[in-house]
């Protein structure tokens, strides 16, 4: 049983892959310590295994059917338009909110989809928050400003540098390393200076690096090649291992440390243009080189999500709920499942939303989710509603060589989990769902677990 006055430190590495940690374990002493002296294994992300969906699943302990975040690009209810996911769209309390209500002091840094909530402690919101990087409350902002001379935290590599990775890869690595070091410094400074029961920091670097450089580190990748990038990615993991070591040195013996990623990665070498195939099947109509959303029966928005044009739901709905809706969904499922591209099956499965989600937000999810086999992902460039030339189904040159979100089976892109503390079982190999973490944290803190959480606490 955990000690009565428990403290928890969570270190999140966005997209950190168990596959890479396993292959480099001898050069990652802190990960090795976790593996040999702690609880270690895989986390199963939600569907889709995308950063905003996965971190929201972590922080609420619920599936997307309850927390309401179904994608990076959310469809606006009652419209054909999409909008980027934001923390304010989350339909559930976060773990730091619950801890705060229970009287615990929290510190939360750079977690994607976190927001400037009123909590006991402080928060520096991460990726996709409208106040990303701004420390709350003012007191923390002033402390950081005095110590580091900055008004906000840069927790993620700048868009401009991401856009030019192909042209300037060294610059990308250099900046990514700088940001990682600064995030670590500020986090470690606050972890020492502030009083907390729960402290969490997320590093975004592993996700950004792996999207572009996965083929240099995954020996099963169709375009695998070992070169200087192989070493640069490995060097970054070694850096993160060192950061973990520094954290472990500054905490007291009673603190339980949880290390995790929101998903891992798999190889991507081809993209499928689902919309062109839906057009060939007669479900999608085009007008002036654009997808005609009003006349189409079904459309995909580029992440494996497929939406039907339903009467009384979409502005120009065509399909009646009930028999017609089921018939159309079944026909699309059948056609996509039978699809072969040069003898290959792009899809592992096609799921109806009620097969993968449950809860009061279910009706806001896509009607179907296409699950791709590894090696494939959904094409989303050029801009998804631009009609690509008919007959074009496959893009052989995706910009990214590693993926997780386009959309893959969660078991094909597992994340990592490691837990080490004074009274944890050791060593223990586990596989857990991302929604199991919030109940685990509450249990360690001796707090009640809300009945509507989907996860089960991990037995420490
Ligand atoms: Zn992620």
Which pLDDT belongs to residue 253? 87
Residues 109 and 28 in one domain: yes
Residues 189 and 123 in one domain: yes
CA distance 280 to 295: 15
Which pLDDT belongs to residue 3? 45
Whether residue 273 is preceded by a cis peptide bond, meaning omega within 30 degrees of 0, is no
pLDDT(62) > 90: yes
Residues 220 and 300 in one domain: no
Residues 120 and 245 in one domain: yes
| Residues 1-44 pLDDT 10s | 444 578 999 999 999 999 999 999 999 999 999 999 999 999 99
- For residue 225, tell me if it sits in a domain: yes
Question: What is the number of H-type helices and E-type strands within the chain?
Answer: 14, 20
Q: How would you classify the pairing of strands 298-300 and 290-291?
A: unpaired
Task: Find the mean pLDDT for residues 150-165.
Answer: 92
- Which residue from 14, 28, 17 is spatially nearest to 416, judged by alpha carbons? 17
pLDDT(154) > 90: yes
- For residue 362, tell me if it sits in a domain: yes
Ligand 1 center–CA 325 separation, angstroms: 33
CA distance 460 to 333: 41
**Which secondary structure element, helix H or strand E, spans residue 330, and what is its range?**
helix 323-338
Residues 364 and 423 in one domain: no
- Which residue from 154, 1, 53 is spatially nearest to 357, judged by alpha carbons? 53
Contact 252, 201 (CB under 8 A): no
pLDDT(144) > 90: yes
- For residue 205, tell me if it sits in a domain: yes
Domain of 362, CATH number, reads 3.30.1360
Beta strands, E only, 76-182: 82-84, 106-109, 121-124
Tokens of 408: 């893959």
In eight-state DSSP terms, residue 254 is: T
CA distance 170 to 296: 45
Ligand 1 center–CA 3 separation, angstroms: 32
pLDDT(382) > 70: no
Ligand 1 center–CA 405 separation, angstroms: 9
Tokens of 387: 């009609």
Residues 348 and 214 in one domain: no
- For residue 407, tell me if it sits in a domain: no
Task: Find the mean pLDDT for residues 308-334.
Answer: 97
Terminal-residue alpha carbon distance, the chain: 8
Residues 233 and 337 in one domain: no
Ligand 1 center–CA 387 separation, angstroms: 29
Which pLDDT belongs to residue 399? 72
- Which residue from 455, 451, 429, 415 is spatially nearest to 51, judged by alpha carbons? 415
Residues 299 and 348 in one domain: yes
Domain of 154, CATH number, reads 3.40.720.10
| Residues 189-198 pLDDT 10s | 999 999 999 9
Half-sphere exposure of 298 (CA within 13 A, CB side): 29
| Residues 207-255 pLDDT 10s | 999 999 999 999 998 889 999 999 999 999 999 999 999 999 999 989 9
- For residue 50, tell me if it sits in a domain: yes
| Total domain count, the chain | 2
Ligand 1 center–CA 263 separation, angstroms: 6
Ligand 1 center–CA 381 separation, angstroms: 20
CA distance 180 to 303: 28
- For residue 299, tell me if it sits in a domain: yes
Ligand 1 center–CA 265 separation, angstroms: 9
Residues 310 and 225 in one domain: no
Which pLDDT belongs to residue 79? 92
Ligand 1 center–CA 339 separation, angstroms: 29
Ligand 1 center–CA 269 separation, angstroms: 19
pLDDT(397) > 80: no
- For residue 72, tell me if it sits in a domain: yes
Residues 380 and 242 in one domain: no
Q: How far is CA 448 from CA 5, 101, 354, 421, 433, in A?
A: 15, 11, 29, 21, 19
Range of weakest confidence among 92-101, 173-182, 187-196, 380-389: 380-389
Q: How confident is the model at residue 383 (pLDDT cuts 50, 70, 90)?
A: low
Q: How far is CA 412 from CA 42, 134, 348, 417, in A?
A: 11, 35, 11, 16
| Residues 71-97 pLDDT 10s | 999 999 899 999 999 999 999 999 999
Contact 218, 19 (CB under 8 A): yes
Range of weakest confidence among 69-78, 169-178, 388-397: 388-397
Ligand 1 center–CA 14 separation, angstroms: 4
pLDDT(332) > 90: yes
| Residues 68-78 pLDDT 10s | 999 999 999 89
Which pLDDT belongs to residue 146? 97
Q: How confident is the model at residue 388 (pLDDT cuts 50, 70, 90)?
A: low
Polymer length of the chain: 460
Q: Which residues lie closer than 8 Å to 114 by C-beta, 6 or more apart?
A: 55, 59, 87, 94, 96, 108, 123, 125, 126, 129
pLDDT(166) > 50: yes
- Which domain range does residue 346 map to? 269-402
What is the four-CA torsion angle of 303, 304, 310, 315, rounded to 10 degrees?
20
| Residues 108-133 pLDDT 10s | 999 999 999 999 999 999 999 999 99
Residues 246 and 114 in one domain: yes
- Rounded mean pLDDT of the chain? 93
Which pLDDT belongs to residue 394? 72
Residue pointed to by tokens 């929201």: 56
Ligand 1 center–CA 205 separation, angstroms: 10
Domain boundary among 376, 402, 428: 402
Ligand 1 center–CA 322 separation, angstroms: 36
Residues 226 and 328 in one domain: no
- For residue 326, tell me if it sits in a domain: yes
Q: How confident is the model at residue 337 (pLDDT cuts 50, 70, 90)?
A: very high
């Amino acid at each position: 049983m955990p000690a009565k006055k428990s403290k928890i430190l969570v270190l999140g590495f966005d997209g950190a892959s168990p596959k890479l940690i396993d292959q480099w374990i001898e050069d990652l002493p802190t990960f090795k310590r976790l593996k040999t002296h702690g609880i270690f294994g895989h986390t199963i992300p939600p569907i889709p295994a995308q950063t905003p969906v996965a971190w929201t699943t972590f922080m609420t302990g619920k599936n997307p059917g309850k927390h309401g975040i179904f994608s990076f690009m959310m469809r606006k209810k009652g419209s054909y338009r999409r909008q980027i996911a934001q923390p304010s769209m989350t339909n559930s309390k976060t773990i730091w909110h619950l801890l705060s209500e229970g009287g615990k002091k929290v510190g939360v840094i750079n977690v994607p989809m976190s927001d400037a909530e009123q909590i006991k402690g402080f928060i520096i919101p991460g990726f996709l928050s409208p106040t990303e990087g701004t420390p709350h409350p003012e007191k923390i902002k002033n402390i950081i400003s005095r110590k580091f001379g900055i008004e906000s935290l840069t927790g993620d590599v700048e868009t401009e540098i991401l856009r030019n990775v192909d042209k300037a890869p060294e610059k990308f690595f250099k900046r990514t390393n700088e940001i990682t070091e600064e995030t670590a410094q500020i986090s470690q400074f606050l972890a020492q200076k502030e009083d907390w029961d729960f402290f969490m920091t997320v590093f975004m670097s592993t996700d950004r690096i792996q999207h572009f450089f996965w083929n240099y580190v995954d020996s099963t990748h169709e375009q695998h090649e070992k070169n200087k990038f192989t070493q640069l990615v490995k060097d970054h993991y070694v850096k993160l291992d060192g950061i973990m070591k520094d954290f472990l040195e500054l905490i007291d013996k009673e603190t339980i440390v949880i290390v995790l990623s929101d998903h891992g990665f798999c190889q991507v070498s081809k993209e499928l243009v689902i919309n062109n195939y839906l057009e060939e099947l007669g479900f999608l109509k085009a007008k002036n080189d654009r997808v005609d959303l009003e006349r189409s029966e079904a459309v995909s928005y580029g992440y494996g999500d497929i939406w039907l044009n339903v009467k009384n739901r979409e502005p120009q709905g065509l399909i009646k709920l009930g028999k017609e809706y089921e018939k159309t969904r079944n026909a699309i499922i059948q056609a996509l499942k039978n699809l072969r591209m040069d003898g290959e099956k792009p899809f592992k499965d096609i799921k109806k939303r009620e097969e993968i989600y449950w809860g009061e937000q279910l009706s806001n999810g896509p009607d179907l989710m296409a699950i791709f086999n590894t090696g494939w992902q959904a094409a989303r460039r050029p801009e998804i509603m631009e009609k690509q030339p008919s007959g074009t189904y496959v893009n052989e040159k995706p910009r990214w060589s590693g993926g997780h979100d386009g959309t893959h089976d969660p078991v094909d892109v597992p994340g990592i989990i490691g837990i080490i503390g004074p009274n944890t079982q050791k060593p223990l190999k586990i596989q857990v769902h991302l929604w199991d973490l919030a109940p685990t944290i509450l249990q360690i803190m001796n707090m009640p677990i809300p009945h509507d959480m989907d996860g089960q606490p991990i037995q420490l």
